[in-house]
Structure 1
Amino acid sequence: MKYMLDTNICVYLIKKKPENVLITLHSNMGDGVAISAITLAELMHGVEASAYPERNALALNQFLSITDILPFDHEAAAEYGKICAALRRRGIPIGAMDMLIAAHAKAKGLIVVTNNVREFERVEGLEVENWVSENKPSDL
Structure 2
Amino acid sequence: MKYMLDTNICIGLIRQKPQKLIERLTQCEPGDVGVSSITIAELAHGAYKSNQIKQNLSALEQFLLPIEIADFDQRASVAYGFVRSYLEKEGKIIGSMDLLIGAHALSLDVVLVTNNVIEFQRIPKLIIEDWMG
Q: If the length of structure 2 is used for normalisation, what is the TM-score?
A: 0.97
Cα deviation digits, residues 77-127 of structure 1 (max 9, x gap): 000000000001000000010010011000000100001000000000000
Task: Check conservation: 2:31, 2:67, Cα contact below 8 A.
Answer: no
SS of equivalent to 1:10: helix
Mapping for residues 7-86 of structure 1, pairs under 5 Å: 7-30=7-30, 32-86=32-86
1:108 match: 108
Q: Work out the CA distance in 1 between the residues paired with 2:52 and 2:22.
A: 23
Q: Work out the CA distance in 1 between the residues paired with 2:15 and 2:43.
A: 13
User: Aligned-pair RMSD on alpha carbons?
Assistant: 0.9
For residue 66 of structure 1, report the CA deviation from its aligned partner: 2.0
Q: Work out the CA distance in 2 between the residues paired with 1:31 and 1:60.
A: 18
Residue-pair matches, total = 133
Q: Work out the CA distance in 1 between the residues paired with 2:71 and 2:31.
A: 19
SS of equivalent to 1:35: strand
Q: Work out the CA distance in 1 between the residues paired with 2:111 and 2:38.
A: 16
Mapping for residues 116-127 of structure 1, pairs under 5 Å: 116-127=116-127
The runs of 5 or more residues in structure 2 that have no matched partner are: none
Which amino acid in 2 is paired with 1:32? D
Which amino acid in 1 is paired with 2:82? K
Indicate the percent of aligned positions where both proteins have the same amino acid.
Answer: 44
Q: If the length of structure 1 is used for normalisation, what is the TM-score?
A: 0.92
For residue 30 of structure 1, report the CA deviation from its aligned partner: 4.0
Deviation >6 Å, runs of 4+: none
The runs of 5 or more residues in structure 1 that have no matched partner are: 134-140
SS of equivalent to 2:28: helix
For residue 29 of structure 1, report the CA deviation from its aligned partner: 3.3
For residue 31 of structure 1, report the CA deviation from its aligned partner: 6.0
SS of equivalent to 1:29: coil
